[in-house]
A = this chain, B = another copy of it.
Amino acid sequence: MDKKTVTIKDIARMLGISKSTVSRALSGRSDIHPETKQKIMALANDLHYEPNALAINLKQQKTNTIGVIVPETVNRFFARAVGGIQKVSDMAGVNVMICQSNESYISEKNNLHSLVSSRVDGLIVSISSETDRTDHFKPIFERGIPIVFFDRICEDVHASQVYTDNYEIAFEGTEHLITRGYRRIAFVAGPQHLFNSRNRLLGYLDALKKHNLPVKESYIIHSHYGSGKVEEYTRYLMQLPQRPDAVFAINDYAAIEMMHIMKKNGLKIPDDVAFLGFNNEDMCRFVEPPLSSIDHPAHDMGAAAAEILINQMRHPDLKPESRIIKSKLVIRESSGARLVL
């Protein structure tokens, strides 16, 4: 069954010419007789010749490929970001290799080495929630492989970065809840070694301060992404002597599940408890009541990251670039009803 794969050598032999001529024809060089080229192309086609990218890339010392490491694409934020990366890359004619760290430091490291071994020309990375050190990226970046971190960025590597205005939008979201009359605002925070999570928490805290509201440690939940502990957190919040009257959650999944549980326990949304999520998933529109959320422009972030990276791959002495993409507060009914006091 395993018909030997056909190479330029085979084509050359069959046509009684040299393999350089075949190579020239196949790679669209001009200095070749039209007729010869014709014959070569025809035969290549007949034989279903597929160029060996390994050989080409080895020879060229570049792969025209960018490596992508994201936590996981079941998280639609990252799926959409990858979509943005691929769109821009396709336009530019560069290939993309996607890896998932599954939120694991060790997988992230493995992915990284595997991509570098495959000699990708650049990297786009959003670090795993477990990753709290950066020694794996440094030597690679210092060797001159351009890296663009996005969303979950790596602060102490002096590479390019694409992220959102976390602080500002968390501030704005919190302030929105406050002006709607909510006073006991709980915050479901992400891991604090992540730049994003830290800044969002800061925005929340500063908004409280600005409005002279007390900061209560008991209202701040330090969650891990996808920890499956939402039910536990909800129960905890509901049994507090002073139950919160609003929840600002690190992502929509947590917000929606929490809202669902509270509803089942007889709480009215948003009269008893308001909700505000993060990411503005499609589902926000369809839950009852529709969930207010922060529109986190995943696709644009991916696209921006790819733009920056491809640019750097083509102009290696460009300085690293930071780009901030604005997110947007989308107000729906889950935080919309209570009157201003």
Contacts and interface: CB of A to CB of B under 8 A. Distances in A.
Interface of A: 1-3, 5, 48, 50-55, 57-58, 63, 72-74, 76, 79-80, 82-83, 86, 90, 95, 97-98, 100, 102, 107, 113-114, 116-119, 139-140, 142-144, 253, 256-257, 260, 282-283, 285-288, 316-317
A286 B269 CA distance: 14
A133 B111 CA distance: 35
Given A3-B143, A286-B256, A288-B288, A117 B72 contact: no
Contact of A74 (B80, B98, B107): B80
Contacts of A1: 142, 144, 316-317
8 pairs of A and B residues whose beta carbons are closest in the complex:
A2-B144, A288-B288, A53-B117, A73-B73, A74-B79, A54-B58, A48-B139, A73-B79
Contact of A286 (B3, B51, B74, B283): B283
A241 B65 CA distance: 56
A2 B53 contact: no
15 contacts: A48-B140, A50-B117, A53-B119, A54-B57, A54-B58, A54-B118, A54-B119, A58-B58, A76-B76, A90-B107, A95-B114, A97-B98, A253-B282, A283-B283, A287-B287
Contacts of A52: 58, 117, 119
A82 B99 CA distance: 11
Contacts of A50: 113, 116-117
A143 B47 CA distance: 10
Nearest to A70: B73
How many copies of this chain does one complex carry?
2
B287 A3 contact: no
A287 B82 CA distance: 27
A257 to B, nearest CB: 7
A210 to B, nearest CB: 33
B51 A117 contact: yes
B3 A144 contact: yes
A339 B243 CA distance: 40
Given A54-B58, A74-B83, A286-B257, A98 B95 contact: no
A45 B59 CA distance: 25
A316 B79 contact: no
Given A53-B114, A54-B118, A98-B98, 17 more contacts: A1-B142, A2-B144, A48-B139, A54-B57, A54-B63, A54-B119, A55-B58, A73-B73, A76-B79, A86-B100, A86-B102, A95-B114, A256-B286, A283-B283, A283-B286, A286-B287, A288-B288
